[in-house]
Structure 1
Amino acid sequence: MNFSASRCLILLLLLNFVDSGQILRRIKRRARDIQIQKNKQLLLTLTVSGHQPLQHVKEGRILQPLDHFNRQNVNTFPQRFLVNEAYWRDPDGPVFLFIGGEGPLFEYDVLAGHHSDMAEEHGALLLALEHRFYGDISRLTLEYFG
């Protein structure tokens, strides 16, 4: 079989594209794992030093439309959210929204990280919203709708 240089280049580019997707997923997963471990360590350090950071975190659920584009469909799902009021200058402080990615939200997602540092600096309410298909909500959605 005769492979021209252009066919070899196309094959290499295709293999690179497929492999790069897997590599990017691994990098993203590893970065999230590192962030989780760092935040767990910070939470543990705060707890050991006498602070009670979790007292500022509240969890809730809000019923969201299952289909935003079909007004005839009145089905809803319980979307999970976390709130940290520790830094909020009530009632005029800003609200920072942290939207979760491809995984569950944890309490330390609203206690540590750049967004938490900014909330402290600006006196903001920190609100984290979990993605409907990932984390705890995906399990609840399956139970809710069978």
Structure 2
Amino acid sequence: MNFLTLRCLLPLLLLNFVYSGQILRMIKRRARDNQLQKNKQLLLKLTVSLHQPLHHVKEGWIVQPLDHFNQQNSNTFPQRFFVNEAYWQHPDGPVFLYIGGEGPLVEYDVLTGHHSDMAEEHGALLLALEHRFYGDSINPD
């Protein structure tokens, strides 16, 4: 590699190292906003066509241990989840678990997306569990 190429690449590598966290957070936020916008548009389209997709979505809470590895610690926190039973072939259909990423869960997360398409294809019950450090499931610790 010649000196001129190295002189051009070095500042780019330095900028990438310094701002990579901010850039990744911005990309993640933009992707989440786009996903929510797409889901809202689908929900609006389904509502206009007289379907009631939210009718099949239920919100629930489960009490989780704060520390699963310490039997002496009895502290708990509430963890939110959503259930979509629109496609479920009750009682023998499979159950798909969608675990939320670094962001809050909303009802739309069990209405659209690849996991929702797969649940429809296989007649599955779709559960979405919110991450314990995001949304309404933030533990008190």
TM-score relative to the length of structure 1: 0.85
Matched, 1:40 2:40: yes
- Relative distance call for 1:9 and 1:35 in structure 2 (3 A) is closer
Amino acid at match of 1:126: L
SS at match of 2:96: strand
How many Å separate the matches in 2 of 1:128 and 1:37? 19
Partner of 1:91: 91
Show CA shifts across 1:28-67 (max 9, x none).
1101100000000100110111011111001110110001
Matched, 1:78 2:47: no
Q: What percentage of residue pairs aligned between the two structures are identical?
A: 81
Partner of 1:49: 49
Partner of 1:68: 68
Structure 1 segments unaligned to the other structure (5+ residues): 1-5
SS at match of 1:80: strand
- Count of paired positions: 137
Partners of 2:79 and 2:136 within 8 A in 1? no
**CA RMSD of the aligned region, Å?**
2.1
- Relative distance call for 1:47 and 1:13 in structure 2 (3 A) is same
SS at match of 2:77: strand
- Relative distance call for 1:58 and 1:14 in structure 2 (3 A) is same
| CA displacement at 1:79 relative to structure 2 | 0.6
| CA displacement at 1:12 relative to structure 2 | 5.4
Structure 2 segments unaligned to the other structure (5+ residues): 1-5
Runs of 4+ in 1 over 2 A off after TM superposition: 8-15
Partner of 2:135: 135
How many Å separate the matches in 2 of 1:76 and 1:14? 43
SS at match of 2:97: strand
